[in-house]
Amino acid sequence: MLSASDVKNLASLKQKKFRQLHKKFLIEGFHLVEECLSSSFNLERIILRNNVDLQKHALILDKISKNKVKVDALPEKSFDKLTETENSQGIVGIVIKPEVNPNNELGNLIIALDRISDPGNLGTIIRTAYWFGVDSVLISNNSADVFNSKVIRASQGGIFHTKIFEDVNLNEKLSGLSQNGYNVYLFAPAAEKKLNDIRLSEKSVLVFGNEAEGISGELLNTGYEKVKIEGYSNCESINAAISCGIALYRFRTLT
């Protein structure tokens, strides 16, 4: 049985500094719990609201049994301290943050994100990357926290199935990748070349920038190929997550 002190400590995981301190994060809802249980992530504990019954969720019950996941129940008032959604489904998971080796193999298709600050955008990009089978996602510092609840919900479980590297020095990383045979494409509205005009290579890094400011000047001045997605109206710009989806579709259909 969880004590009031336990609940307080778990509720602190809603804040980034405590997620970093304890190397754990919260997930909410049956879908995210199922996705986590079907991944390599370590789901440490499941917490239910007192009136919630797991009998209709065979996959969760099966995985709980196989992985020996602890399950606790809390009265509604205590349970609500752990949630951030308005209409909670009554299930929360405590997940251990994975240890990521920065020297891991990145694969052939990589997305690099420069200062993506909106959690919804970041989560949607991760979900899109999962859909298109992206090998790795590199996220620069000064970006939204991957384990922010809004990012996790927007990813729809994509964070559990995509290789993600946080707080990456993109300048250094892209330089190293370029020297190892990767083509680096910077997506920028002011670029002269259109996406339809370039031949994408098998080993590619697609770089997308901040929602308001785009890719930083430091990266834009590095000499990598600049690309834009052609528009067909006077609309000023396109959402970063949508740009990512268009680019990945183009990549997957042409390589």
Which structure tokens are listed for 157? 């479980």
Quick: pLDDT tens for 38-52.
999 999 999 999 999
**Angle at CA of residue 67, ends 64 and 73, nearest 5°:** 40
Range(s) of the chain covered by CATH 3.30.1330.30: 4-96
Cα distance between residue 204 and residue 185, in whole Å: 8
DSSP-assigned letter for residue 109 = E
pLDDT at 104: 85
The CATH code of the domain at 4-96 is: 3.30.1330.30
Hey, what CATH topology would domain 109-254 get? Alpha/beta knot (3.40.1280)
Nearest to 207 by CA among 231, 225, 221: 225
- For residue range 171-223, list pLDDT tens digits in order: 999 999 999 999 999 999 989 999 988 887 889 999 999 988 899 999 999 98
Provide φ and ψ at 112, rounded to 5°.
-120, 130
Q: Transcribe 184-207 into DSSP letters.
A: EEEE-TT-SEEGGGS---SSEEEE
pLDDT in tens, 93-136: 999 999 988 788 999 999 999 999 999 999 999 999 999 999 99
* 255 has a pLDDT exceeding 70: no
The interaxial angle of helices 58-67 and 30-37, nearest 10 deg, is: 40
Q: Can you tell me the distance from the alpha carbon of 171 to that of 24, in angstroms, rounded to the nearest whole number?
A: 29
